[in-house]
Amino acid sequence: MDYTVTVATGTAEYSGTNNYIYITLVGERGSSKRTVLDNPGLDFCRGAVDQYTVRASASLGQLLLVRLEKQRYLIEDNWFCRYVTVEPPEGGEALNFPCYRWLVGDVKVELREGTAKRQQEDTLAHLLTHRNAELKERQKIYRWQAWAPGIPKCIDAKSEADLPQDARFDNEKRSDFEGSLHYALLELSLKKLAIKFGRSWSDLDDFRRIFWKLKSPIAEYTMNHWREDWFFGYQFLNGSNPRMIKQIQEIPPNFHVTGDMVQAFLKPQTTLEKELKAGNIYLVDHDILDEVPTNVIKNQQQHIAAPLCLLYEHPEHNLIPIAIQLEQKPQKHTPIFLPNDPPLAWLLAKIWVRHAEFQIFQVLSHLLRTHLVVEVFCVATLRQLPAVHPLYKLLTPHLRYTLEINSRARTQLISADGIFRRVVSTGGDGLLVLAQREYKVLTYRSLQPPYDFEDRGVTKLRGYYYRDHSLMLWDSIKNYVTGMVFLYYPTDSDVIEDSELQAWIKDVTEEGFVNVPQFGLSGELKNKQELVTLLSVVIFTSTAQHAATNNGQFDWCAWVPNTPCTMRSPPPQDKDAITMGLIMDSLPDISQSCVELAITWHLGRRQPDAIPIGQYVEEYFTEPKAKELISAFQKDLKTIDENIREQNDGVELPYLYLCPSNIENSITI
């Protein structure tokens, strides 16, 4: 009996192969002949969809597996298979067997038909054996590792080269990633050379001399408005670190600001006490930075402050800073910086706050709370969920490239000789201490946007576009996930009885998030709603939350005085002694500024191969109902995108980081 088989090769560079490819169809009544797939001409070219005939002596009955084998011919030539379809001789609908993986070396791969199934839905011993064998093999390949104590565990890989091919960048992505970094560093090296042979680095306007070619409209806007108090306040709401601001009802005892000090900056006929009670006073507290070890760069000690910044939601001027203290343990003469201080004193105080923001958004909001958190779910998914599992199909597109970009971060960015060590004040021991402190207080609740905004008391804060867009995306993601969970888990008992799912959450909590006392995620899933929330957190964090912290970093950091990566002089103690010379001696030097500009451009730019949120290039789900849910999700995201763009039409300072078309489907950079 003749089966018509279609085999699709990947579309990325080097996906094709000239090696031998064999196929065997495995059914409930037996197997077909092992058949070499060889048509006249070239087979398995990049992007090809080839058709073949596979013969069996009798009907195989229900098809269970498609077995693919690759054998070397002359030289090793890896092959990426997208999918296989099989048309049975009896007629009827063709069966789809998703693959989406590399075949490396002389290897054998067995594919399940695309219908998603939980373990308890598989009754045939052959299929149960297959899914168990798949997990055992994956658990050998994907192992946990503690890269450092006191932070989430990660993939066991010394570098990206140790990762299996399925976890690596495609060749185009790899070439672009490495090429763009070299391009940016080369351009900035030329700028540095030109400046060194020119006049001295002595005034804030000198930063304009590295501000050409690598720039953006918002970066230019920042350059022109960074000194203005409203713009300083705006960045706490819609900059790269929009999760720190919180409403307060009383001034912290270690913040020595009084009502008389700030009276001139409040609206008429009010007091600080009244505004606190009215809910119009906000605080950004960088206490986590207190006494963090500081870097030494080129034999020069760098410096860190742990500021407290008091902000006021003014009825006319929106959110504005009204007091800054640069120490957590103030002494009798510790200054409180105010907007009516000498202009350079107030400016330098704000620069110190923005410097603290750089450390926290890069190490905590970005690296720890998106990259490292998502890596835990990525490793657990690969170890505990077989490819046929509905949650593997749901999560895998949102985990694409995360292992490689995180491995590169550990070797190139935050390693002992990485970029942070070269130019960032928390580089070296400081960034690990900072991450360990945050990890101790990290909570699952804080990863859920509705609770995060509620707990910080910012649900009514005006102009908080990050909040508004986050909640729209959270609702959309949660609706999509709810549909998928209710499709594959009709009852709460189905959740409880899914042993692979329970092994997954156990791996997440007991291995990935080990020794995090306040995290608050149970090691057992008891109902559908718990599962919906958790999956929504994973997808939201790997898409929208990452975009909010990553995509704007060049916009806010390219004008280096607005968000300096390091400070070369200690925090000021005397307001009247602050000069432009002191400010320039504090800010990053030419070399550090050039590297900050280059690295934030490299990491924050739009990726050429970006897949927007909700666009599923690899079709893991084959069932019509699942595809309908995906289509509804995509339609909802399109509506959100149109609404956000309409709101920003003609706006001088637009907030577009959370437009779905600007959000990647996974953490790839």
CB 390 within 8 A of CB 118: yes
Helix (H) or strand (E) holding 441: helix 429-441
Which pLDDT score is estimated for 93? 87
Average pLDDT over the chain reads 94
CB 304 within 8 A of CB 287: no
Q: How far apart are the first and last CA of the chain?
A: 49
CB 400 within 8 A of CB 173: no
Which pLDDT score is estimated for 181? 73
What is d(CA 297, CA 577) in angstroms, rounded to the nearest whole number?
26
303: which DSSP letter? B
What is d(CA 395, CA 375) in angstroms, rounded to the nearest whole number?
12
pTM of the model: 0.96
Backbone angles phi, psi at 583, to 5 degrees: -60, -45
Helices 343-360 and 429-441, interaxial angle, to 10°?
70
Which pLDDT score is estimated for 178? 80
Helices 373-384 and 125-141, interaxial angle, to 10°?
140
The residues of the chain scoring below 70 in pLDDT are 184-200, 211-214
What is d(CA 133, CA 139) in angstroms, rounded to the nearest whole number?
10
**Given CA atoms 430, 304, 584, 552 in this order, what sign does their dihedral have?**
positive
Strands 107-112 and 154-155, by their bridges, are: unpaired
Which pLDDT score is estimated for 169? 93
CB 187 within 8 A of CB 595: no
- Identify the CA nearest to 213 among candidates 186, 248, 240: 186
